[in-house]
Amino acid sequence: MTQSRELVEQLRREVLMARQRVYQLSQPTPLEVVKLPHAVQVFLKREDMSPIHSFKWRGAYNKMALLRPEELDRGVVTASAGNHAQGIALAARQMGVRAKIFMPQTTPRTKIAAVRIHGGEYVEVILCGDTYDVASQAAREEAENFNRAFIPPFDDLQVMAGQGTLADEIVMSGQGPFDAAFIQIGGGGLASAVGCWLKSFYPDIRLVGVEGVDQASMSAAITAGQPVPLDNIDVFCDGTAVKTAGDLTYALCRELIDEYTTVTNDEVCAAIQLLWEKQRCVPEPAGAMGLAGIIKNLESLENKKVISIVCGSNMDFEQLAWIARRADIGAARRHYLRLEIEEKQGTLFGLLDNVFDGLNIVEFQYGKCHPDRAWPVLGFEVSPAEMKLLNTRLNEFGIPHEDVTAQEDVDFGIIHYDSGLMHLPFFIKLEFHDRPGALHDFLKEVSPFANLCYFNYRHTGERVGRSLLGFEFSDENQKALFKEHLANAAGAYRSYTEISASVLHRIL
């Protein structure tokens, strides 16, 4: 028997023993079913519904419950980017044990606040460095200097065994056997423990490790034949942002995981949106990685029963805006095109009237930056068939265009313009009823009276759309006539506010 197989057997025994401990702290979490295209049944293990909204309480408590009384008296030390820290905090308060927790300064505020809430007076949070590795080194030095037990987040058999109890709950649900499990991998503790237990009961199950494209430390270790540090790691999925796979988890994943797949941040955002739409569940990015892997491989899973773990939902509220913007891109429903058209009055309205009729425009970025040519950027929420039709229409009308979905200026909403080219500019903040055709109706009403020189609109999901618009005029008389017409065209919009001269000076 190889050393890896011996580790698997040892982990299996540890999971068996952990079952009698973890339920002193909390109860099993639900297993829910979501049906996806191609007759794929996805069984969601809802660890986001645990006491700390993450699976990490299991391993933290199991490890601490095994410490000797004298070790508990001295207190414990750990390092974490968030969820493991909350597990330690909850266990420390439950057991009456002092815990010193080192966290990177970049840890989301939600997770830091939750650690203090769960731990109360038993927990001291120390923000240290910009990465988990720096915080971990400081925590280990603290543990060594003061002879305190260090509770690792993943590379420990007893910590892993606690996490494995969620797989035991999957088995005990009676819903098996399952064809595959897509398990997110950061350090590899979750994948090791869940994989070990599932394969004990379902020998034919296929285990797929899911990693972020720029976080694939376990895949790198498998390729290299040993754990190797990544030069840089992406931290969007902060719960899986581990630079180097653990020694134990590497050996276990090498033995247990059948294949690996990577997902982009946009694909993770699309999975979060799907969980919201199907279950009204809003996981943190790492919590949706398993489902993102399933969606990416959906066709190959036809008629299969598949496991996915919603492993956490501890996310700063501010991150939702970015996720909402990127979700449709990740699901290949949103595309951004930059067009080249003539810079003259009525051209943009002509596009809406002839080329984009019936298409859902969710974003519009344009600023005048050339006297004769214009390069507006439009975001479309369309099906693949509609996108093909749009490209055909643009080619038929002879309009040069390019897909700029991944370009930085579009991503950050940068609108290029030259204020020196805008003659007698007049800016308004426009509110309109956000329905199909609303922008078309407004431009139809105003295009004969002014030339559009600035347009900034982004769909926010509200019933009301808001945009910042700029118009230019040949003379003051034309400008006055436009204002009069705008006031009398109330049916084409909900309300508008003129941008004051002082604000306009800052804009231009």
Q: In terms of domains, do 125 and 187 share one?
A: no
On the 0-12 / 13-18 / 19+ scale of CB atoms within 10 A, 475 is: exposed
Among candidate residues 338, 374, 309, the one with its CA nearest the CA of residue 165: 309
In a domain, 155, yes or no: no
Question: Does 280 lie in the same domain as 167?
Answer: yes
Of the ranges 194-208, 226-240, 356-370, 414-428, the best mean pLDDT one: 194-208
The sign of the CA dihedral 21, 24, 25, 30 is positive
Query: Domain range for residue 99?
Result: 57-150
pLDDT of 444 over the 90 cut: no
Shared domain check, 110 and 48: no
Average model confidence (pLDDT) across the chain: 92
* pLDDT-based confidence at residue 36 (cuts at 50, 70, 90): very high
- 165 and 177 together in one domain: yes
Same domain, 475 and 360: yes
Q: Which pLDDT value is given to residue 162?
A: 97
- Of 328, 350, 367, which closes a domain? 328
Residues 165 and 312 in one domain: yes
Q: Which long-range contacts (CB under 8 A, 24 or more apart) does 356-359 make?
A: 356/380, 356/390, 357/440, 358/436, 359/386, 359/390
β-pairing verdict for 305-310 and 180-184:
parallel
What CATH code is carried by the domain that includes residue 445? 3.40.1020.10
The answer to whether residues 233 and 114 belong to one domain is: no
What is the average per-residue pLDDT within 286-303?
A: 97
Regarding whether 62 and 9 lie in a shared domain, the answer is no
The string of pLDDT tens digits covering residues 195-208 is 999 999 999 999 99
**Whether the predicted pLDDT of 71 surpasses 80:** yes
Bigger pLDDT: 385 or 76? Answer: 76
pLDDT at 507: 66
165 and 128 share a domain? no
Which CATH number belongs to the domain containing residue 296 in this structure?
3.40.50.1100
Compute the Cα dihedral for 50, 56, 60, 62 and give only its sign: positive
Distance (Å) of CA 231 to CA 91, 216, 217, 244, 286? 34, 11, 10, 10, 20
- State how far the alpha carbon of 198 is from the alpha carbons of 36, 170, 258, 415, 425, in Å: 22, 8, 13, 52, 66
Tens-digit pLDDT profile for residues 84-140: 999 999 999 999 999 999 999 988 888 899 999 999 999 999 999 888 888 999 999
In this structure, the answer to whether residues 143 and 260 fall within a common structural domain is no
Residue 215 placed within a domain = yes
> What's the pLDDT tens digit per position in 449-508?
899 999 999 888 888 889 999 999 999 999 999 999 888 887 888 889 998 767 776 766
Say what the pLDDT of residue 410 is.
Answer: 87
Least confident span in 49-53, 380-384, 469-473: 380-384
| Range 291-316 average pLDDT | 96
The last residue of a domain, from among 129, 150, 171? 150
Task: Report the number of distinct structural domains present in the chain.
Answer: 3
- Rounded distance between C-alpha atoms, residue 309 and residue 380, angstroms: 32
Is pLDDT of 394 > 80? yes
In 180-333, DSSP assigns E strands to 180-184, 206-212, 259-263, 305-310
Kindly state whether residues 315 and 388 are assigned to the same domain.
no
User: What are the tokens at 130?
Assistant: 């910009």
Give pLDDT, residue 147: 95
The pLDDT, as a whole number, for residue 505 is 67
* Cβ neighbours, 10 Å, residue 60: 31
* Residue 78 placed within a domain: yes
Note the pLDDT tens digit of each residue in 332-363: 889 999 999 999 888 888 888 888 888 888 89
Decide which of 118, 150, 182 is a domain's last residue: 150
**Domain shared by 140 and 178, yes or no:** no
pLDDT of residue 508: 67
Closest CA to 278 of 30, 33, 461, 28: 33
Query: How high is the pLDDT of residue 1?
Result: 47
pLDDT, residue 107, reads 86
